[in-house]
């Protein structure tokens, strides 16, 4: 049986909220989805019937391997769509999230496999997030927040943890794009804003921004 739009939204939430042990609470899902806890509780009981989660009263949910794969496949559709919009339709990275939210609910796997082929099987989406393969496998990355870097370090901008339009425009205006080399020049004691050097120019980033930027060495 095909998954419903609502089920896919819950699956995607599980993908983003679950911890490294595959556990998540009803309360965490409720906050992430901005949905009342009784509704989340009822949906998780349905997920348990499908063997996507292990549901025990008053205990954290445990996502099964089957559930993890289902969640990863929804995320795959979303991230492939974002990449297609950027690479083949010339959308800006700040303009693709909402469109992908709509197209991710197309059920044809052949459609997305063809999209993957046309894009030459990309490993990452426009925001640097790994794209699961058609079996739900995903690349693990060793990234850290820019806010955790020290003065003098040079790192590479690898991903963002926030993909809303305002933040991505903020980065674009500063010519801060994926794979850009960033040198940490100064960290203000007062507000922890960070002065960086990119392509010979300096920019000042707020602490809030540096916490949303993920980098690698």
pLDDT of residue 19: 79
Report d(CA 166, CA 92) in Å as an integer.
Answer: 13
User: What distance in Å separates the CA atoms of residue 62 and residue 101, rounded to the nearest whole number?
Assistant: 26
* pLDDT value, residue 216: 96
8 Å CB contact between 172 and 94: yes
Continuous segment of H or E residues that includes residue 145? strand 144-145
pLDDT for res 183: 98
Q: For residue 158, which phi and psi values (nearest 5 degrees)?
A: -110, -30
The pLDDT of residue 184 is: 98
Show the domains of the chain with their CATH numbers: 5-63 (1.10.10.10), 144-216 (2.30.30.90)
Backbone angles phi, psi at 213, to 5 degrees: -100, 125
- The pLDDT tens digits of the residues spanning 78-113 come to 999 999 999 999 999 999 999 999 999 999 999 999
Mean pLDDT taken over the chain: 95
pLDDT score of 21: 79
Neighbour-count burial of 142, counting CB atoms closer than 10 A to its CB (0-12 exposed, 13-18 middle, 19+ buried): exposed
Nearest residue to 144 via CA among 47, 212, 57: 212
Token output for 194: 């960070």
Ranges of residues in the chain with a pLDDT under 50 are: none
Alpha carbon of 172 to those of 14, 113, 197, 200: distances in Å?
Answer: 30, 30, 15, 17
Q: Check: CB of residue 186 under 8 Å from CB of residue 194.
A: yes
Direct distance between the N- and C-terminal alpha carbons of the chain, in angstroms, rounded to an integer: 44
Q: Is 48 exposed, middle or buried (0-12, 13-18, 19+ CB in 10 A)?
A: middle
CA distances (Å), origin 196, targets 69, 142, 212: 39, 21, 15
pLDDT for position 163: 76
- Checking 32-41 for CB contacts under 8 A at 24+ apart, the result is 33/9, 40/10
Alpha helices in the chain (DSSP H): 5-17, 26-33, 37-49, 65-87, 97-103, 109-118, 165-173, 207-212
**Global pTM?**
0.88
């Amino acid at each position: 049986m095909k998954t419903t739009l609502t089920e896919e939204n819950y699956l995607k939430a599980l993908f983003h909220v679950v911890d490294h042990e595959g556990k998540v609470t009803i309360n965490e899902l409720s906050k992430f989805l901005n949905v009342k806890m009784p509704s989340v509780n009822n949906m998780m009981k349905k997920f348990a019937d499908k063997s996507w989660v292990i549901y025990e009263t008053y205990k954290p949910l445990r996502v099964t391997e089957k559930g993890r794969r289902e969640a990863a496949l929804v995320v795959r559709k979303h991230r492939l769509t974002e990449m297609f919009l950027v690479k083949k339709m010339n959308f800006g990275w700040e303009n693709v999230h909402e469109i992908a939210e709509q197209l991710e609910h197309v059920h044809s796997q052949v459609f997305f496999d063809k999209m993957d082929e046309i894009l030459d099987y990309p490993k990452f989406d426009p925001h640097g997030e790994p794209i699961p393969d058609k079996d739900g496998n995903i690349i693990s990355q060793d990234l850290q927040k820019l806010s955790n870097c020290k003065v003098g370090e040079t790192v590479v901008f690898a991903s963002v943890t926030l993909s809303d339009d305002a933040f991505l425009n903020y980065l674009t205006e500063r010519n801060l794009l994926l794979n850009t080399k960033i040198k940490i020049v100064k960290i203000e004691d007062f507000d922890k804003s960070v002065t960086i050097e990119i392509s010979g120019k300096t920019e000042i980033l707020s602490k809030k921004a540096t916490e949303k930027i993920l980098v690698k060495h």
